[in-house]
Chains A and B, each alone.
Chain A
Amino acid sequence: MDDNGASDESGKKADIERSKSEGKELSKEEKQRLRKEKKQQKKNKDKKDEAAKPDGGAGAPSPSHKSPSSAPGADAPVAPVEPAKGKAEPTAEKRPRRDSDRSSKKRDGGQQQAAASVAKPKVPPGELQPVVKRLPEHVQVDDPVVVKKWAKKLERQQIPLRSDYGYKVSLFSHLHQYSRKAPLTQQVSIPSSVIHPAIVRLGLRYSEGIVTGSNARAVALLHTFKQVIRDYTTPPTEDLARDLINKLKPYISFLNQCRPLSASMGNSIKYLKKEIANIPSHCKEDEAKSKLLGCIDSYVKEKIILAAKAIAEIAIEKISDGDVILIYGCSSLVDRILCEASRAGRKFRVIVADSRPRLEGREALRRLVRRGVGCTYVLVSVISYVLPEVSKVLLGAHALLANGYMMSRVGTSQIALVAKAFNVLVLVCCETYKFCERVQTDSFVSNELDDPDNLIVTRKGRTQLARWQDVRSLGLLNLVYDVTPPDFVDVVITELGMIPCTSVPVVLRVKSVNL
């Protein structure tokens, strides 16, 4: 943390490096100079933001505090810094205490760290302020620098690193490819102490595929976080909000390695972090915990359960008697819509298109047949033969991107394309919590590679691909997602109503304003 803060000041970097390498003790003058510079920057910022909130003993005369001797006055230069946003104010009281602890431990490093950590909450990018470095959103496994950074981050969080498996097709070599035979739990001790056992279980369920589907994954994640929050106790010197978020970060890295996070999971985590950060610091621990648990429950209820209900109601309007509906794979939302429609008495039949290697359509088929809906089961290769008799195509989405593109199971864009060619109505159902701010126009940049060994199948006692790794020129590609352009989608059904695909950014904007 202190490295980040210090290194971003270009002028100081060389000095600090030098002095650190020399003797780990900056001279008094240098420290003073450093602090002066930081004060100046903050003053400029404060003037701009007009956030004059004098703390006790703080206020304008910050330069005057610098003249007394540097070392023992570790608290003084830090305390008068005024937080620009009110949120940081309650933590300012904790800051002097924490910083005095730090300064008593190691003086030179402490001041840098103190100054840098103060600088962090005031983030405006592009100023003289140190910019917080974030890891790029896109995975870049073929870039060794990024991989090293990533490995270091994991090591700091004490999370084991999962190694990639097998030869990756060159277009997708920037993505991770893991093997199911090498789960991450091999490197976790058996009564797992560093990682909460519920998180280990969840990660295992993700990587084994027991919890699949973006809704299921989000709900399971929130359930596990509820358990984590219940078992959490605040250490005496820390603030619940900050410490809890720091506790959750390694867990999220762990889950990310077991299986890359879905958009629904990402949005749920963002919501949870926001809720945690919004807890007032005077709140007692039990109160805070029960508040958080309540928030999670209400999130699931509103965004997932009630949204599904609303979507089903809206979608049922679109289903008329005598319809032939084509669905693809297994989407919990589509399944719900069709079950509700069947219960409401609509007479329709369904064609389930399925694809290897997951063959999720079998599960959708089972659920529909159990309801008494007449079904036909085909593989995706024959959809152009069945489309002439199809009246509507109903698809589920994994995420809706900010430029109107839809991310879903691989094969969906194929179906949407062929349906468009046949002029068949394509309806996509998606809850608003799956709308994400990413922009993507192709399926290459950000995708997920599943275990290539899943493509190996044994027919009539022969397994043709058993030795695929020995053939140098052969690569197995098992993609999970693909991206459908908005031209192929006629309408998106959300709990806000039926919107065109291009209205997704509007919804996102409205959501962020509301937050």
Chain B
Amino acid sequence: MELQAVLMAAGGGSRMTDLTYNTPKAMLSVGNRPLIWYPLNLLERVGFDEVIVITTKGVQKMMSADLKLKKDVKMKLDFVCIPEDTDMDTADALRHIHPKIKTDILVLSCDLITDVSLHDVVDMFRAHDATLAMLMSKAHEFTETVPGQKGKKKTAEQRDFVGLDQSGKRILFMANEVDLENGLSIRKSILTKHPRIFIKTGLVDAHLYCMKKEVVEFLMDNKSISSVRGDLVPYLMRKQFSKTRTCPKLNDDADEQSQKRSDSSTNNELLISSPDDPLLQLAQELSCWNDHHGDMSEAYHGGKLRCYVHIMDQGLCFRVNTLAAYMEVNRLVPKLLFEEPAVHPSAVISERCQMGSDSMIGAQCQIADKTSIKRSTIGSSTTIKEKVRVTNSIIMQGVTIEEGCNVQGSVICSNVVIGRGSYLKYCLVGSGQRIEPAADKTNEVIVGTDQMMEI
């Protein structure tokens, strides 16, 4: 077996609490499918047969109840439930499932929606025998107005500084602006090996990591690392340039053994050599390939720990962890799902309804006459009465919109009732709410009072 997929679906969606206070993030509906379907679909398309899904009991129950999901996803899902009250982060979760891990792993987050060809990432992992291979994408500006937001979003604090080598494939360091108060400092050991570094700020991390099995072993020994993205990945990047004892140019077995013993224990885990390493070492020595030119060191500068990144410049790659991302993704998702018709066959749509081609209608909807639906996603079991205009909005399941409403640029969560003649512009209506008739709301977040107390 080559790779095991691990899907982290226990996250809470802390940056979009208005959407997630009733539904867990993994089950938020995007394009009339639960969010978790997208990474599962990606894995299935690529050829995985089974996935380890780390999630909460609630999500597992919802997923088992969702028959459509069961039908669509043919892979075997191995659920590992984490109790909700423990403060377990992603690396802790990996430690938790350590007995199940037998080979290298591919860790994904449940909020990743992408159409990347995974072999780009995995090929780098395979070809260069990397310890870590990750995926990043050019960040998209979210241009649509987000309900409930006053003023422009401050993007400066969120910037990640990513340092790449000359080929653009190896990632040398990654630092968030928040952590850099005085400036970005680059160690000399990095600069001597890579005199040309490209520093990029417009990249977003897709949270898709391909890691060697030894990394999980390493996690077992180092319990202080709790988050994959926050602690483990930067640590691995730093360790690429840590001072290993210089590798002798002509390796014999004896030298290698003593060198390994003298290494620190952490390095030992990461440099675990298979019993056949002498042959592989010999092959690399005899091969006349080098990944860099101009200095006197051999391929990879003799470093055994390598981190690679694949940067997508075309195609979709989104992490649905903010409201803006959620709205953007809903608009783009119809392009992703071409095999499914935009309009579900069981929806009842009257002929006098004007529906744009980029809208999606879920199952068992009822759409009456003289309605106009443009660039919107309508969830299942929704009822839309006459003379309603829905533009640029996301309407989840079980919603009832009475006659004469005008919903623009809004997010209406599940089981909401909107009274007749309302005009909602750039609003976010939490689930289960009722909007009184003839309401006129602009740029408001309407959630239940009990939710307001949660903060």
Give the interface of A toward B (CB within 8 A).
183, 185-186, 188-193, 197, 200-201, 204-205, 208-213, 215-217, 219-220, 222-223, 226-227, 300, 305, 329-332, 360, 362-364, 366, 369-370
Contact = CB atoms under 8 A, between A and B. Distances in A.
B48 interface: yes
Contact of B286 (A208, A216, A360): A216
A204 B2 CA distance: 14
Contacts of A211: 283-284, 287, 289
A190 B276 contact: no
Given A191-B1, A210-B128, A210-B289, A223 B296 contact: no
A243 B364 CA distance: 55
A213 B123 contact: no
A496 to B, nearest CB: 21
Interface in B1-48: 1-5, 46-48
A192 B123 CA distance: 12
Interface string B126-137: 111100000000
B280 A197 contact: no
A201 B1 contact: no
B127 A219 contact: no
Contacts of B117: 186
Nearest to B290: A363
B286 A219 contact: yes
Nearest to A201: B126
B261 interface: no
Contacts of B455: none
Contacts of B4: 191
A197 B2 contact: yes
Contact of A370 (B5, B127, B296): B296
Contacts of B279: 219-220, 222-223, 226, 300
Contact of B290 (A193, A216, A366, A370): A366
B119 interface: yes
Contact of B276 (A204, A212, A213, A227): A227
Given A189-B48, A197-B126, A213-B288, 20 more contacts: A183-B119, A185-B126, A190-B2, A191-B4, A191-B5, A191-B47, A192-B2, A193-B47, A193-B49, A200-B126, A204-B123, A204-B127, A212-B288, A212-B289, A213-B287, A216-B284, A219-B286, A223-B279, A362-B293, A363-B289
B122 interface: yes
Contacts of B283: 211, 216-217, 219-220, 223
A216 B276 contact: no
Contacts of A212: 287-289
B395 to A, nearest CB: 36
A210 B287 contact: yes
Which 8 residue pairs are nearest across A and B when measured between Cβ atoms? A189-B47, A330-B288, A216-B287, A197-B2, A216-B286, A223-B279, A220-B283, A332-B286
A190 B289 contact: no
A272 to B, nearest CB: 14
B118 interface: yes
Interface of B: 1-5, 46-49, 106, 117-119, 122-123, 126-129, 249, 274, 276, 279-280, 282-290, 293, 296
A470 to B, nearest CB: 21
Contacts of B47: 189-193
A197 B104 CA distance: 11
B280 A205 contact: no
Contact of A363 (B3, B122, B288): B288
B118 A190 contact: yes
Interface hub of B276, B286, B293, B296 (most chain A Cβ within 10 A): B286
17 contacts: A183-B123, A190-B106, A191-B47, A193-B49, A201-B126, A201-B129, A208-B127, A211-B287, A212-B287, A213-B287, A223-B280, A223-B283, A226-B279, A227-B276, A332-B285, A332-B288, A362-B293
Given A190-B47, A219-B279, A223-B280, A204 B126 contact: yes
Contact of B122 (A190, A227, A330): A190
B282 to A, nearest CB: 5
Contacts of A223: 276, 279-280, 283
A215 to B, nearest CB: 5
B417 to A, nearest CB: 46
A307 B97 CA distance: 49
Contacts of B288: 212-213, 216, 329-332, 360, 363-364
A197 B122 CA distance: 12
Given A200-B126, A369-B296, A226 B276 contact: yes
A363 B280 CA distance: 19
Contact of B46 (A189, A226, A332, A370): A189
A185 B47 CA distance: 12
Contact of A190 (B3, B249, B274, B284): B3
Contacts of A217: 283, 287
A208 B47 CA distance: 23
A32 to B, nearest CB: 49
B4 to A, nearest CB: 7
A369 B119 CA distance: 38
Contact of B280 (A186, A215, A220, A329): A220
Contacts of B118: 190
Contacts of B2: 190-192, 197, 200
A305 B283 CA distance: 11
A63 to B, nearest CB: 54
A200 B127 CA distance: 9
Nearest to B282: A219
Given A190-B122, A204-B123, A213 B290 contact: no
Contacts of B106: 190
B286 A215 contact: yes
A423 to B, nearest CB: 30
Contacts of A222: 279
A220 B290 CA distance: 16
A191 B289 contact: no
Given A201-B126, A204-B126, A210-B127, A191 B48 contact: yes
Interface hub of A189, A190, A305, A366 (most chain B Cβ within 10 A): A190
Contacts of B274: 227
Nearest to B48: A191
B119 A190 contact: yes
A209 B280 contact: no
Contacts of A200: 2, 126
Contacts of A366: 290, 296
Contacts of A331: 288
Contacts of A219: 279, 282-283, 286
Contacts of B5: 191
Contacts of A216: 283-288
B447 to A, nearest CB: 41
Given A190-B122, A219-B283, A205 B49 contact: no
A185 B119 contact: yes
A463 B399 CA distance: 57
A191 B49 contact: yes
A213 B286 CA distance: 7
A231 to B, nearest CB: 10
A507 B174 CA distance: 58
A170 B82 CA distance: 64
Contacts of B284: 211, 216
Nearest to B291: A210
Contacts of A329: 288
Contact of B127 (A201, A332, A362): A201
Contacts of B286: 213, 215-216, 219, 332
A226 B122 CA distance: 23
A217 B284 CA distance: 9
Nearest to A360: B288
Interface hub of B5, B46, B279 (most chain A Cβ within 10 A): B279
A362 B3 CA distance: 36
Nearest to A329: B288
A264 to B, nearest CB: 11
Nearest to A296: B279
B325 to A, nearest CB: 26
Nearest to A226: B276
